[in-house]
């Protein structure tokens, strides 16, 4: 399958700031793609480059094989849903959605049918004659979505689409966006700083850092096989141990030799970080071979999970563990309690970068 | 709380009452008396002044003044809108200096600035001189002492008000709605007509009313740049008070002009208030 959107060597600077610093990526047709990263990582600039509001200093942007690097935004078969929604305040919901079709020269019954279909898709048919200021945040968001989708673009760009919504509505809209993407068959490219949003919705994620792609892959790849400390730290929660690759394991001062996966990939003596997800830490109240004694310094009850903060005996190094609330120990974890913790070698990842 | 607020308002209210409301009331009342034989006021009640004001002679002056003022409004808009747009699109730190530049002419006297136009526009003036030297014209152009000169003077004098009113409206709009329009397939002209223009109507209304109201009552510019050949409403009132010494009729005309301005300003205020409440509801 050939790519729908191809970005090759794209760079853009503002003054001395390299907002986008040589990015290559490809989005497949019908894909739900997420650009994830902290603020200032260049994801919004990249989005504006794809929409055509900014012009790259170098590199090319291709859509469906055609070079659109120099095409003005109003001539690109790409639509953008703005973070602020940017609804036209002086027009009704219907007129907002009809606007883009009118620009294509569509009139009369054909126009009306297309607008009504789009409003139906986002379940706003009964709000057509309202003005934007009469709508709730969630309704505005759906008008913005209908306005962008009604043009049947080849690619829909969404800038922090759920950023302005409260948590409950956000979770509902995540599912809703996924449904719309599958129903319309349009490729979605979402910009977000919320990793949970990206993990839930996207088929693939590009995690950006300082204008470059830090890692590109499926949500599972980013979460379970991070390639750098930045990725491991940004996506989800992570425990890090600093040390050196030595012999049959990973040497950490005060802890000795820890088990780790893919040891062969790292040369002997290399400085690295060992990364362990909190949910991979196994807690037990009896000593086991290879387990470390630790003391509970605090815990946070999260509903289905219990997050336990530990201090390893001897070294005092911090460790976070995450237990399901149904875990045998979860009921009586309290400050000062002694436990033993361990993890399997395949869940400890060595990161050199 | 309420009494505190009243206390803060008191100096301003006293000032307005003594120097604006009472004089306006006096002018209104004056309009209902007769002119004395030697220019004084004969305190006999009459409505004759108001009947006289709609006489074709005076109605003609009114229409002519309105036409000149409207022309000034149109040209102020044509000059002011691009200028205000340009200022609003500059980086924030550059906007204030540019706005101060717009206000700069107010630092010198209006009369002197109007005189300066005579130097520019007269038969041997800078413009005619330069064009003759360049060989573009053989005869000097009739630039001074006509409607063109009056409109030029009014536009020059009042375009800063137009720019300020438009700037406040345009800068509030931000770039995003225009970008959304472009993204949906509109070129820049259609984006302007369908998005920017309708959403800056409050600014257009405010600027237009300012320029119209200031222009229609102006008497210095028609006097100096019009050469006194054409009479505008301001000149007519001036003449009634100072030349014809017909205070009651002058008061009637002045009152009618003030009433017209009040109606226009009220309409504009209501319009702006309506779009402001809509905007608040949006935010």
Q: Which helix (H) or strand (E) holds B177?
A: helix B176-183
Domain A238-351 class? mainly beta
Phi, psi torsion values for A11, nearest 5 degrees: -140, 145
Q: Which residues of B touch A50 (CB under 8 A)?
A: none
The reply to whether residue B182 touches residue A73, judged by beta carbons under 8 angstroms, is: yes
Q: Which residues of B touch A99 (CB under 8 A)?
A: 181, 184, 186, 194
The reply to whether residue B185 touches residue A103, judged by beta carbons under 8 angstroms, is: yes
- Whole-complex ipTM: 0.84
* A213-231 pLDDT per residue, tens: 999 999 999 999 999 999 9
- Residues contacting B161, CB < 8 A, separation 6+: B207, B210, B211, B214
Q: Give the CA count within 13 Å in the CB-facing half-sphere of B6.
A: 3
Mean of pLDDT over chain A? 91
Distance from CA of B193 to the nearest CA of A (A): 13
Domain boundaries in chain A? Answer: 5-229, 238-351
Burial of A2 (0-12, 13-18, 19+ CB in 10 A): exposed
Cβ within 8 Å of B, A 20-59? 51, 53
The reply to whether residue A80 touches residue B183, judged by beta carbons under 8 angstroms, is: yes
Residue-level pLDDT at B244: 86
Range name among A127-131, B163-167, B239-243 with the lowest pLDDT average: B239-243
Residue-level pLDDT at B228: 77
* A169-226 pLDDT per residue, tens: 888 888 889 999 998 899 999 999 988 889 989 999 999 999 999 999 999 999 999 9
Spatial distance between the Cα atoms of A240 and A325, rounded to a whole number of angstroms: 24
Distance from CA of B276 to the nearest CA of A (A): 12
Q: Which residues of A touch B181 (CB under 8 A)?
A: 88, 99
The reply to whether residue A104 touches residue B281, judged by beta carbons under 8 angstroms, is: no
Q: What is the residue whose two structure tokens read 């809703």?
A: A176
Q: CB distance from A14 to chain B under 8 Å?
A: no
Helix and strand numbers (H, E) in chain B are 15, 2
The reply to whether residue B185 touches residue A100, judged by beta carbons under 8 angstroms, is: yes
Considering only the beta carbons, identify the residue of A79, A86, A151 that sits closest to B177.
A86
Map out the domains of chain B with their CATH numbers: 57-282 (1.10.3720.10)
* A273-325 pLDDT per residue, tens: 999 999 999 988 888 888 888 999 998 888 888 999 999 988 889 999 998 88
CATH fold match for the domains A5-229 and A238-351: no
Q: How confident is the model at residue B283 (pLDDT cuts 50, 70, 90)?
A: very low
In chain A, the residue whose alpha carbon lies closest to the alpha carbon of B275 is: A90
Domain range A5-229, CATH architecture? 3-Layer(aba) Sandwich (3.40)
Q: Which residues of B touch A86 (CB under 8 A)?
A: 176-177, 179-180
pLDDT beyond 90 at A164: no
Residue-level pLDDT at A74: 94
């Amino acid at each position: 399958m050939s790519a729908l959107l191809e970005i090759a060597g794209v760079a853009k600077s503002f003054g001395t700031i390299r907002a986008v610093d040589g990015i290559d990526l490809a989005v497949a047709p019908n894909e739900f793609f997420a650009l994830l990263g902290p603020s200032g990582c260049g994801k919004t600039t990249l989005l504006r480059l794809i929409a055509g509001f900014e012009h790259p200093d170098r590199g090319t942007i291709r859509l469906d094989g055609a070079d659109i690097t120099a095409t003005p935004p109003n001539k690109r078969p790409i639509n953008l849903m703005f973070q602020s929604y940017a609804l036209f305040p002086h027009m009704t919901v219907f007129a907002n959605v009809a606007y883009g079709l009118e620009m294509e020269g569509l009139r009369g019954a054909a126009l009306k049918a297309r607008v009504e279909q789009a409003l139906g898709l986002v379940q706003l048919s009964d709000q057509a004659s309202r003005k934007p200021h009469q709508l709730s945040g969630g309704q505005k968001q759906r008008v913005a979505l209908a306005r962008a989708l009604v043009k049947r673009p080849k690619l829909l760009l969404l800038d922090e689409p759920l950023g302005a919504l409260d948590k409950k509505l956000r979770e509902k809209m995540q599912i809703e966006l996924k449904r719309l993407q599958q129903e319309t068959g349009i490729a979605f490219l979402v910009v977000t700083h919320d990793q949970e949003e990206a993990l839930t919705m996207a088929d693939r994620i590009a995690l950006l850092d300082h204008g470059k792609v830090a890692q590109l892959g499926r949500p599972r790849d980013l979460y379970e096989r991070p390639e750098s400390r930045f990725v491991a730290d940004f996506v989800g929660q992570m425990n890090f141990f600093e040390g050196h690759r030595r012999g049959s394991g990973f040497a950490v001062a005060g802890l000795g030799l820890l088990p780790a996966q893919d040891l062969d990939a790292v040369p002997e003596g290399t400085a690295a970080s060992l990364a362990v997800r909190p949910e991979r830490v196994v807690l037990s109240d009896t000593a086991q071979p290879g387990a470390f004694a630790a003391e509970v310094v605090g815990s946070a009850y999260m509903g289905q999970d219990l997050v336990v903060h530990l201090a390893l005996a001897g070294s005092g190094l911090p460790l976070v563990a995450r237990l399901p609330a149904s875990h045998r120990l979860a009921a009586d974890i309290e400050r000062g309690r002694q436990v033993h913790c361990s993890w399997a070698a395949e869940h400890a990842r060595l990161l050199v970068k | 709380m309420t009494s505190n607020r009243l206390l803060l308002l008191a100096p301003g209210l006293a000032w307005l009452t003594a120097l604006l409301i009472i004089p306006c009331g006096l002018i209104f009342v004056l309009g209902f008396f007769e002119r004395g034989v030697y220019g004084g006021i004969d305190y006999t009640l009459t409505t004759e002044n108001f009947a006289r004001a709609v006489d074709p002679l005076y109605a003609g002056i009114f229409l002519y003044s309105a036409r000149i003022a409207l022309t000034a409004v149109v040209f102020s808009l044509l000059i002011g809108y691009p200028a205000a747009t340009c200022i609003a699109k500059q980086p924030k730190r550059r906007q204030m200096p540019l706005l101060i530049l717009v206000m700069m002419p107010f630092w010198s006297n209006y009369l002197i600035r109007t005189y300066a136009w005579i130097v520019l526009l007269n038969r041997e003036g800078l413009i005619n001189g330069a064009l003759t030297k360049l060989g573009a014209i053989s005869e000097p152009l009739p630039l001074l002492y006509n409607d063109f000169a009056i409109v030029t003077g009014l536009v020059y004098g009042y375009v800063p008000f137009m720019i300020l009113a438009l700037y406040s409206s345009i800068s509030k709009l931000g770039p995003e709605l225009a970008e959304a329009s472009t993204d949906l397939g509109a070129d820049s002209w259609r984006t302007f007509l369908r998005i920017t223009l309708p959403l800056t109507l409050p600014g257009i209304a405010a600027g237009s009313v300012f320029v119209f109201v200031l222009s229609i009552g102006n008497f210095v510019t028609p006097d100096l740049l019009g050469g006194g050949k054409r009479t505008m409403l301001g000149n007519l009132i001036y003449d009634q008070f100072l030349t014809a010494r017909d205070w009651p009729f002058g008061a009637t005309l002045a009152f009618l002009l003030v009433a017209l301005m009040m109606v226009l300003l009220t309409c504009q205020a209501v319009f702006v208030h309506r779009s402001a409440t809509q905007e608040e509801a949006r935010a």
